[in-house]
């Protein structure tokens, strides 16, 4: 059954768990997430980026979600727009059955340049006003995602934008966050703590210098009733890097966000954890393995099935670690 982000995260807060939000673009990713959820009795957040919507098409993606809902009637399902860049993107998502939208006003509409506070408040409050009229939930973002190692800010497509940003832009200010939530009425708030999108987040195991988890505790103190969202929260597992690289892949040495750090965040108000890269990596590593171990294989299903199994296993691990399991 379809539920809103607000309903799901209120339940998560009450019971002290977090919910991974997995990006999907196609049927295989959708099936993998739902099978994992069924395995461990977990509610689900599926999210689509603007890129996902144009890849599959709004009608196709909408029907995939309808089908998943019908196939897994016992799994509570929130369908969320990831990184909406304007009012139209958010409203058209709702028209296609999404029960939740992110208005990412931390960047301008081009999704490539940091915006100012007034722009962010104005557009996010407008989306919240409209979405709430029709019962959809809203996530906003304050602070710019990016690396505290390099000072590189993170455009929505995972490419850094030109020039370095100061630390104060890359780490959400608790007082500004408090004001932003009261002025916009968002249901959930994405925060910047040094994580970035994609595979290359940290050049070594992250410490508190580059992964500002202590900010989460401060944010939770000033915003005890706001659901916090961590973007760029793939863990980039070493074991999948190894499968990828040992079958012709070229991923340079890299670290993601350790699952333990996310679990610590969940103790301090983190309720939604965005994960895209981990499923991409597991899926393509599994497909590379098929390609290398059986070069004569040309039935795509023989690639997609191991890819689904790989994604399902990652999802299952996150549902278990975040305490989502058992809460469907």
Q: Cα(237)–Cα(271) distance, rounded to whole angstroms? A: 21
Select the binding partner of residue 52 from Na ion, ligand 13P, ligand G3H, none (C-beta < 5 to 8 A, by kind). Answer: ligand G3H
Which two structure tokens, joined as six digits, stand for 254? 């890299």
Contact partner, 173, from Na ion, ligand G3H, Zn ion, none, Cβ < 5-8 Å per class: none
Closer residue to Zn ion in complex, CB, 231/280: 231
- Quote the CA–CA distance of 230 and 191 in Å, as a whole number: 6
Contact partner, 23, from Zn ion, ligand G3H, Na ion, none, Cβ < 5-8 Å per class: ligand G3H
Residue 159 DSSP code = P
Asked if 112 interacts with ligand G3H (CB under 6 A), we say no
Say if residue 141 carries a ligand binding annotation.
Answer: yes
Distance between CA atoms of 144 and 169, rounded to whole angstroms?
6
Q: Could you tell me where the beta strands, DSSP code E, fall in the chain?
A: 19-23, 44-48, 77-84, 100-103, 137-142, 152-154, 160-164, 188-191, 227-230, 270-275
Q: Which of 232, 271, 285, 315 touches ligand 13P (CB under 6 A)?
A: 232
Q: Which of 39, 58, 66, 82 is catalytic?
A: 82
145 binds Na ion (CB under 5 A): yes
DSSP state of 114: B
Residue 23 binds ligand G3H (CB under 6 A): yes
CB of 83 to Zn ion, least distance (A): 6
Out of 82, 141, 152, 154, the only residue in the binding site for ligand 13P (CB under 6 A) is: 82
- Rounded-to-integer distance, Cα 109 and Cα 89, Å: 10
Strand partners, 189: 140, 228
Q: How far is the CB of 232 from Na ion (least distance, A)?
A: 9
312's CB contacts (< 8 A; 6+ apart) are 32, 33, 35, 36, 39
Which residues are known to be catalytic?
A: 82
Q: Which residues bind Zn ion (CB under 5 A)?
A: 231, 274
Q: List residues near ligand G3H by CB under 6 A.
A: 23, 49, 51-52, 82-83, 156-157, 197, 276
């Amino acid at each position: 059954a379809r539920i809103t982000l607000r309903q799901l995260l209120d339940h998560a807060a009450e019971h002290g768990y977090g919910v991974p939000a997995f990006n999907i673009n196609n049927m295989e990713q959708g099936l993998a997430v739902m099978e994992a959820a069924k395995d461990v009795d977990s509610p689900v957040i599926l999210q689509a980026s603007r890129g996902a919507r144009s890849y599959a098409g709004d009608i196709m993606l909408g029907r995939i979600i309808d089908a998943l809902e019908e196939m897994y009637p016992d799994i509570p399902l929130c369908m969320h727009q990831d990184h909406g860049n304007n009012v139209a993107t958010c409203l058209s998502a709702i028209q296609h059955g999404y029960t939740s939208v992110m208005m990412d006003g931390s960047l301008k509409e081009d999704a490539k340049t940091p915006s100012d506070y007034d722009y962010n408040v104005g557009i996010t409050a407008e989306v919240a006003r409209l979405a709430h009229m029709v019962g959809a939930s809203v996530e906003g973002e304050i602070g710019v995602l990016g690396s505290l190692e390099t000072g590189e800010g993170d455009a929505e497509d995972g490419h850094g934008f030109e020039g370095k940003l100061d630390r104060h832009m890359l780490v959400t200010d608790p007082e500004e966050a408090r004001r932003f939530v009261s002025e916009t009425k968002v249901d959930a708030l994405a925060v910047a703590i040094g994580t970035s999108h994609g595979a290359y987040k940290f050049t070594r195991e992250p410490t508190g210098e580059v992964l500002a988890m202590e900010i989460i505790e401060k944010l939770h103190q000033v915003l005890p009733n706001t659901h916090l969202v961590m973007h760029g929260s793939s863990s980039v597992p070493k074991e999948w890097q190894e499968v990828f690289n040992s079958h012709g892949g070229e991923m340079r040495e890299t670290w993601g966000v350790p699952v333990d750090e996310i679990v610590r965040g969940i103790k301090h108000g983190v309720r939604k954890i965005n994960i895209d890269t981990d499923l991409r990596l597991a899926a393509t590593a599994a497909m590379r393995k098929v390609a290398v171990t059986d070069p004569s294989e040309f039935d795509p299903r023989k690639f997609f099935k191991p890819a689904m199994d790989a994604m399902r296993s990652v999802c299952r691990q996150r549902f278990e670690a975040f305490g989502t399991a058992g809460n469907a």
